[in-house]
Amino acid sequence: MSHPRSAPIAVVTGGAIRLGRQLCTALAARGYDLVILYRNSADAARELERQITASGRQARARVVDVGVETQVAEVFAEIARQEGRVDLLVNNVGNYNPQHITRLDPAVWDATLAANLSGAYYCCFHALRLMPSSGNIINIGMAGLEGARANVLGADYFVSKIGLLALTRSLAAAYAERNIRVNMVSPGQLDNSVDLPPPDEIGRTVPLGRAGALDEVAQAVAYLLDAAYVTGANIDVAGGYRL
Ligand SMILES: NC(=O)c1ccc[n+]([C@@H]2O[C@H](COP(=O)([O-])OP(=O)(O)OC[C@H]3O[C@@H](n4cnc5c(N)ncnc54)[C@H](OP(=O)(O)O)[C@@H]3O)[C@@H](O)[C@H]2O)c1
């Protein structure tokens, strides 16, 4: 058992690569010690662990399939023993495997909902038991969740993110009395998007005319951590995409 520690503890799901990695690095720079949750990217997770540790913060990488509740329970029981608490949970896992709704495989539907929505709930459920007053949960959504739209490509993903927004607001209302804030940050097309249009075409769908940088998502997370009177909010970081 290694707690208590003085630094706040952040747990980031899907933290080893891409946006999750950027968020872990930014949170470490802000003074958090990290629990980096990953599923397949073990080498990248270990490398990030080393990088954050070398920067003077503590970091521990841990494998989990967030879609399996027993695994999530085990991870948070371990966090209770080792870190002792969770000050910030970032639910960053968001699998996007776009299929047309007319051909959407039920197995893909199940896997997407399990990872992106049930997984986020399992992590919230267990993290909240370890979260002190003034803790934070930040869920990573997708731009354009306000208002029910049609999404014929990737409906499973869209439904998981709409559900995550509803979960964000429900938890925000319920945990406000403990001064725990629950918010969402919703990227649009980031510069690592799998379906990014070419630079000369992006202005057709993104009014600001460019893809977003990963650090611009981290900036919104940083804002929410400072914004003590903001809860239940959803911030699009999307250059106006889907306005
Ligand atoms: N990139 C974009 O342009 C964009 C746009 C809009 C919204 N977003 C949102 O931003 C977030 C991050 O996006 P991204 O593109 O960086 O993510 P990503 O690469 O698609 O996925 C992030 C990580 O999630 C982990 N993961 C997937 N299923 C898991 C499971 N069942 N259990 C545990 N971990 C699991 C994977 O970890 P391993 O690698 O370890 O397997 C993966 O590295 C997502 O929520 C996404 O929906 C991204």
Average confidence (pLDDT) over 34-52: 98
Q: Which tokens in the block code for residue 101? A: 């709704």
- 31 falls in which pLDDT band (50, 70, 90)? very high
Q: Residue 18 Cα, ligand 1 centroid: separation in angstroms? A: 8
Q: Does the pLDDT at position 126 exceed 90?
A: yes
Q: Does the pLDDT at position 242 exceed 90?
A: no
Percent pLDDT > 70 in the chain is 98
Q: Does the pLDDT at position 37 exceed 70?
A: yes
Q: Does the pLDDT at position 13 exceed 80?
A: yes
Ligand 1 site, residue 46, Cβ cutoff 6 A: no
At 60-110, the pLDDT tens digits run: 999 999 999 999 999 999 999 999 999 999 999 999 999 999 999 999 999
Q: Does the pLDDT at position 3 exceed 70?
A: no
Ligand 1 site, residue 8, Cβ cutoff 6 A: no
Residue nearest to atom 39 of ligand 1 (CA): 41
Ligand 1 site, residue 41, Cβ cutoff 6 A: yes
Ligand 1 site, residue 95, Cβ cutoff 6 A: yes
In this prediction the pTM is 0.98
180 beta partners: none
Please state, in angstroms and rounded to a whole number, the distance separating the CA atoms of residues 38 and 61: 7
Closest to 161 measured CA to CA, from 181, 145, 150, 138: 145
Q: Which domains, and CATH codes, for the chain?
A: 9-193+214-236 (3.40.50.720)
In residues, how long is the chain?
A: 243
Q: Residue 213 Cα, ligand 1 centroid: separation in angstroms? A: 15
Average confidence (pLDDT) over 198-203: 93
The mean predicted confidence, pLDDT, of the chain is 96
Amino acid making up residue 155: A
Least reliable range by pLDDT among 177-181, 224-228, 238-242: 238-242
Q: Does the pLDDT at position 137 exceed 90?
A: yes
Q: Residue 19 Cα, ligand 1 centroid: separation in angstroms? A: 7
190 within 8 A of 214, measured Cβ to Cβ? yes
Q: Does the pLDDT at position 1 exceed 80?
A: no
Q: What is the pLDDT of residue 97?
A: 92
Average confidence (pLDDT) over 4-31: 95
- The alpha-helical segments, DSSP class H, found in the chain are 18-29, 42-54, 69-82, 106-112, 119-128, 155-175, 214-226
Catalytic amino acids?
157
Choose which residue among 18, 116, 151 to substitute to test ligand 1 binding: the one with the highest number of ligand atoms within 8 A of its C-beta.
Answer: 18
Q: Residue 115 Cα, ligand 1 centroid: separation in angstroms? A: 10
Ligand 1 site, residue 94, Cβ cutoff 6 A: yes
Choose which residue among 89, 92, 145, 195 to substitute to test ligand 1 binding: the one with the highest number of ligand atoms within 8 A of its C-beta.
Answer: 92
Torsion sign across C-alpha atoms 219, 122, 170, 88: negative
Residue nearest to atom 20 of ligand 1 (CA): 95
Which atom of ligand 1 has the smallest separation from the CA of 67?
31
Q: Does the pLDDT at position 240 exceed 90?
A: yes
Ligand 1 site, residue 12, Cβ cutoff 6 A: no
Q: Residue 160 Cα, ligand 1 centroid: separation in angstroms? A: 13
Q: What is the pLDDT of residue 4?
A: 59
Please state, in angstroms and rounded to a whole number, the distance separating the CA atoms of residues 158 and 139: 14
